[in-house]
Structure 1
Amino acid sequence: MQFCDECGSMMKADGDVMVCDSCGAEQARDADEEAAFVSTEEQSGDELIETEEGADFEGKPTATDVICDDCGHTVAWYTIKQTGAADEPPTRFFKCKECGYRWREYN
């Protein structure tokens, strides 16, 4: 990432130069810019939180403090996902171990 020497705004690449959207100043691209990017390994399936209809909840943590609205069973798999702003509590997604019914809980 490169910032404008004139106004301090973030610059965007335009060919071999960096251009400031705010003031229009142009600068040569930093030679170290490409080396500054870091790649990470791909996430494993254990780290991913699946919430769509076909998600495989089996093997996820188990909650015993819930009641399935469909069959009344009191044990369900769950995952947690931050669906709102960072200052809001996360949402828990459940799948009943007995009947497979899915629901979510907002704290």
Structure 2
Amino acid sequence: MNFCDECGSMMHTEGDAWVCRSCENEEPRDSQAEAAMATRDGQRDDGAPAVADATRGSTETTQEPCPADDCDSDRARYEMLPKPGGSYEVRLFTCVECGHKWRDS
């Protein structure tokens, strides 16, 4: 993958050149640099990421309206989980009536 030096967009190959579809900047292709780029074949698949279960170990509820179309509940269990990178936490809700799960936006 190559990125445009002018605008930072991802560039695409067209013949012997890398072309930016955003600003139309063109750069010559370098076969040695391209050989060093990772391909899908060289990447590993770790599977789908784990999904947190907001009902696990949570007994505390709060007044939070369920966003599910067919549910009128205004109570939900919640759990606070750290965001990747540890910059802040996210609150995950589970409706006590229908089990619908959502996160605090």
Q: TM range, normalised to the smaller chain?
A: 0.3 to 0.5
TM-score, length-normalised on structure 1? 0.41
TM-score, length-normalised on structure 2? 0.41
